[in-house]
Structure 1
Amino acid sequence: MTEHKNVNALPRRQFIALSGAVGAVTLVTGAGATGRAVAADDTGYGEDACTCPTPPTSPPGAGQSPCPPASMQALCGGLTDNDPLWHDVQYCTRGIVPPAPQPKPDCLKTTPNYVVLHGKPETQHNYLLLPSCRITGIECPFLVTSGVANYWSEAWENARSGGSVPVQYPNIGLGINSKGARRFNQMHIHMAGVRPSTQRRLQELDTMGRMATQPAQWGAPANQAPITGTPGSGDRTYRILKLTDLRQNLFALLNQYVVRPNALSMADQTLIVVPKMTATGFAGVFYVLNSDTSLHGGTSTCDYLLVYS
């Protein structure tokens, strides 16, 4: 069992900036806008996605980074929601004791933008990074905006060797489950291990040129490949993108280059980041995997590849 993981699920920053105009979202890259206006129903979040947010609020606990506006509450959650992981976040950031019988969490690290907690089972390679903001999960449209904190980069900086909460495992994996494959509804990035076989397979695919080297290529069938994870679970198909850093907003890249072009839903997606490791340590490359059940052999959970116990 993970996160505190959906046991019922089958072991199944480029940024987007919300424009001031109602009904349009403008994609912004590091060099400027592409100039393409995207209709409100072209975001991968459905008709209820807000495209005219009110000014963002601050996260609990004297935060610096903005949080989803009230107009996104329907998709991103409300401050009074009764979710165990959200209660944990509020205890770590504001000292609000969780309702009985939920125990107080062990707050391993607390910052204005996020907290780090143990996953379940508690091991030295099973941690969770959760936003201090109220964000239910991958389906929250605020995650693809320019205002969101870079949670993936924060997770790596904590989990890496020498980080604040290092994952003590030969190979590290970071992952987030889809809406349907999670148990709790406060966004959490798993900081865990991955098997040596997963690392070897990804490096083989890299050598074979079987992965995207530019975000625009991520959704192409040629950059999909089967990877074996949990013993006995068989192969699962993933779309694979190779990046040299985590400065870009992975949620925005996924939404722009995979979800929208294929008329998919963000809520159904899983994301996994596997840093490339060699005998000398981190090799300066990240393999970013995505999958969902629309793929033949695809999955909407990161749990096939991550090692928690």
Structure 2
Amino acid sequence: MDDHKNSNEVSRRQFVAFSGAVGAATLLAGAGAIGSAAAAAGPVHGEPSAGSCPTPPPGAGQSPCPPAQLQSVCGSPTDNDPLWNDVQYCTHGTPPPPPQTRPNCLKKSPDYVVLHGKPETRHNYLLAPSCRITGIECPFLVTSGAANYWNDAWENARSGGSVPVQYPNIGLGINSQHARRFNQLHIHMAGVRPGTQRRLQELDTMGRIATQPAQWGAVPYQASISGPQGSGDRTYRLLRLPNLGQNLFMLLYRYVVMPAGLDMANQTLIVVPKMTAAGFAGTFYVLNSDNSLHDGTSTCDYLLVYG
């Protein structure tokens, strides 16, 4: 709903090149080693290099940002993307250029801001980094230097959160580079259809959902899920996690994208908390898809409910 086709393609070679700097062996060795290699590739914490993304206001803490040399892939702070303009208004008070109007900043933190999605409903919000990060194709996201935006989105969207999603079932999602409207990373905090929740629990009971990240890309853990009436079924890779403490971007790259020779820019990610009559069941379903799958998709919009 907030997204449409974007013709601005980033070469897969740029992502792989940065990952090469991180080191393929290091990537497989674990997140801590990845963070060390990423730090060697450029400044992440502390004072930013000239032209790197701005720091939060004094006293607000330090938000991790991609190093300056990744601006060609992850975006420049001087870009004129409308959502990035909104983020800068929320974090620094910089008015967006006309005719863009000032947004309603629902939540601000050193790492992110929460804004209304379109249409504005009580189950349609966006979480966007306070750093300049264009989207899922930014290789900085697969390092340990990146903030855990997925867990942040859940902590805001859940019942009792700062910006709770008013819907029986909650879904979090991010679109691929080619299926989004805005070129500032944003996680949709929205509703999920009851049928999607039921289908995921059925698949879980059938043993069709991977319980270990290393299984995520395997064919037995791919299944179809129906979208809105008339939109047909789409195929997703399915993973179950007990929490969102791990870097989902890193897991996706490490266990799905890299082994299959895919492109991160083409991926969509969706998180659906398992819900029962008693409320949140303490488990998260993590869905991934792209157009390399039969009936796959690069957008989360088939499953999320905005309006």
What's the TM-score bracket when you normalise by the shorter of the two chains? 0.7 to 0.9
Counterpart residue number, 2:262:
264
Q: Is the 8 A contact 2:203 2:209 kept in 1?
A: yes
- CA pair 133-33 structure 1, distance change in 2 beyond 3 A: closer
The one-letter code matched in structure 2 to 1:306 is: L
CA-to-partner distance for each residue in 1:53-93, whole Å, 9 max, x for gaps?
22123633344231001011011000000100000000000
1:53 and 1:72 in contact (8 A); partners too: no
Which segments of 5 or more consecutive residues in structure 1 lack a partner in the other structure?
Answer: 10-17, 39-49
For 1:61, the equivalent position in structure 2 comes to: 57
Is the helix fraction higher in 1 or 2? Answer: 2
- Runs of 5+ consecutive residues of structure 2 not aligned to the other structure: 8-16, 49-53
Aligned-pair distance for 1:193? 0.2
Aligned equivalent of 1:98 = 96
The question of whether the paired residues in 1 share the 8 Å contact of 2:210 and 2:239 is answered with yes
Name the residue aligned to 1:75: 73
Q: Secondary structure at the match of 1:260?
A: helix
Letter of the 1:170 partner, please give it.
P
| Counterpart for residue 42 of structure 1 | none
Q: How far is the alpha carbon of 1:6 from its aligned partner? A: 1.3
Amino acid at match of 1:294: S
> Which residue of 1 is the match for residue 51 of structure 2?
none
Deviation at 1:230, TM superposition (A): 1.6
The 1:22–1:303 alpha-carbon spacing in structure 2 relative to 1, beyond 3 Å, is closer
Q: What does the per-residue CA deviation read over 1:245-295, in whole Å, with 9 as the maximum and x for residues that have no partner?
A: 000000000000000000000000000000000000000000000000000
Give percent identity, aligned residues only.
71
User: Structure 1 pair 22/142, CA: closer, same or farther in 2 (3 Å)?
Assistant: closer
Higher strand share: 1
Query: How far apart are residue 23 of structure 1 and its match?
Result: 6.3
1:161-200 residue pairs with structure 2 within 5 A?
161-200=159-198
Distance 1:51 1:296 in 2: 38
| Alpha-carbon contact 1:65-1:147 (below 8 Å) kept | no
Residue 33 of structure 1: how far off its partner (Å): 5.5
Q: Secondary structure at the match of 2:259?
A: coil
Q: Is contact 2:214–2:255 with CA below 8 Å preserved after alignment?
A: yes
Q: Which residue of 1 aligns with 2:10?
A: none
TM-score (norm 2): 0.88
Q: Retained in 2: the 8 A contact 1:113–1:132?
A: yes
Amino acid across the alignment from 1:219? G
- Note if contact 1:223-1:240 (Cα within 8 Å) is conserved in structure 2: yes
Query: Partner of 2:113 in structure 1?
Result: 115
Instruction: Classify the secondary structure of the residue corresponding to 2:244.
Output: coil
Q: TM-score if structure 1 supplies the norm length?
A: 0.87
Aligned pairs (5 A) from 1:216-235: 216-235=214-233
RMSD after superposition: 2.3
Change (3 A) 1:273 1:23: closer
**Count of paired positions:** 284
